Amino acid sequence: MCSSSSTARFRPFQETCTRNPIYMQALAVAQHVNTVVLKVHCSLPFRVLGVQYFISMTRPPKAQPSLLFRQLFEKESSTYTYLLADNAHPDRPAVLVDPVDKTAERDAALVEQLGLKLLYVMNTHVHADHITGTGILKNKIPEVRSAISRASGAKADLHLNAGEKIYFGNLYLEVRPTPGHTKGCVTYVTGEGPDQPSPRMVFTGDALLIRGCGRTDFQGGDASQLYNSVHSQIFTLPKDTLVYPAHDYKGHTVSTVGEELKLNPRLSKDEEEFKRIMKNLGLPYPKMIDVALPSNMVCGVQDPVAT
């Protein structure tokens, strides 16, 4: 508060301000918007305080983030599963990306504990290194729907096409085709706009890993196609977009588009060098592929078994 002596010294300036038409117009508008008590600090002129308060009164409030997000891990196949929900929506709708059969019970329990309504269980592609948990989750939560790309050729309740938006409450994931690791790979990107998560998030499956990428020597893989998919569909996103892959084998949890553009030892190279690298990886035959592929082509064991 101002002392009586400082108030006396300030009164001539105050009277001058109240005769200033710009100040009076701004103050009148501010008072019209809402009745306010204007607290004046002696160190600031009335005119500045009045205009600043007018601006703060009329500026739209900043939207509060409503995304609930969990990154989950299955250690045997080093697979990440992602749970996203609209925490502000009354139904708290949710989606689950790339679940694993061995941790499906954990995922279902978490959904229940958090009071979420699981709408979709979504796969980025037909996995070869683990069996999806989609079938188990569909049996435990009957109203949930399975989703995978139409190009994958796999069975699902919902077959996704490029550009489609999967809504959960007021939030959504955009489907972007990123073939090359397999012919049916897609990437899911959080929405764009003031009511969507910021920075954006991208769930890349095996197309883009942290400082790596998925192999291209089986399941219709193609190194040139993968290179162009990542560069056109993922690397064109804002550089602060958070990258969440389906796997990590070195303890990393998240990267950014900007980091991978600069530091990815494969995809930061030109296309010819990338194809040479992929051709000479010399990776062993996937140990789970003969079991995982048949199951994952039907989104896991989801149909009742005849007795």
259 shares a domain with 177: yes
Taking the CB of residue 106, how many other CB atoms lie within 10 A of it? Answer: 15
Structure confidence by residue, pLDDT tens digits, 156-209: 999 999 999 999 999 999 999 999 999 999 999 999 999 999 999 999 999 999
* CA gap 155, 153 in Å, rounded: 7
Would you say residue 307 lies in a domain?
A: no
Choosing from 12, 39, 58, the residue where a domain stops is: 58
Are residues 24 and 118 located together in one domain of the fold? no
Domain boundary among the residues 58, 78, 100 is at: 58
Determine the pLDDT at residue 299: 81
The answer to whether residue 104 sits within a structural domain is yes
Measured distance CA(139)–CA(18) in Å, rounded: 72
Residues forming a β-bridge with 12: none
Total domains in the fold of the chain: 2
Domain check: are 176 and 279 in the same one? yes
CATH number for the domain that contains residue 262: 3.60.15.10
Query: Are residue 49 and residue 187 in the same domain, yes or no?
Result: no
Query: What is the per-residue pLDDT across 44-102, written as a single tens digit (0 to 9) for each?
Result: 443 343 443 333 344 444 444 699 999 999 999 999 999 999 999 999 999 999 999 99
Are 87 and 46 members of one domain? no
Exposure class string for 192-214: b at 16+ Cβ within 10 A, else e:
eeeebbbebbbbbbbbbbbbbbb
Judgement on whether residues 278 and 161 belong to the same structural domain of the protein: yes
Same domain? 24 vs 115:
no
Instruction: Report the relative pairing of strands 165-168 and 67-74 from DSSP bridges.
Output: unpaired
In a domain, 301, yes or no: no
The strand pair at 242-245 and 67-74 is best described as unpaired
The reply to whether 35 falls in a domain is: yes
pTM of the complete model: 0.79
Give the C-alpha separation, 232 to 149, whole Å.
18
Answer whether the bond into residue 199 is a cis peptide, omega within 30°. yes
Sheet holding 93-97, edge to edge: 67-74, 79-86, 93-97, 117-122, 145-149, 158-160
Position 21 confidence tier, pLDDT thresholds 50, 70, 90: low
Is residue 154 a contact partner of residue 298, using CB atoms and an 8 Å limit?
A: yes
* Amino acid at site 127: H
3, 37, 72, 206, 245 from 41: Cα distances, Å? 11, 13, 51, 58, 52
* 18 residue type, one letter: T
Full residue range of the structural domain in which residue 41 is found: 4-58
Asked if the structure places residue 106 within a domain, the reply is yes
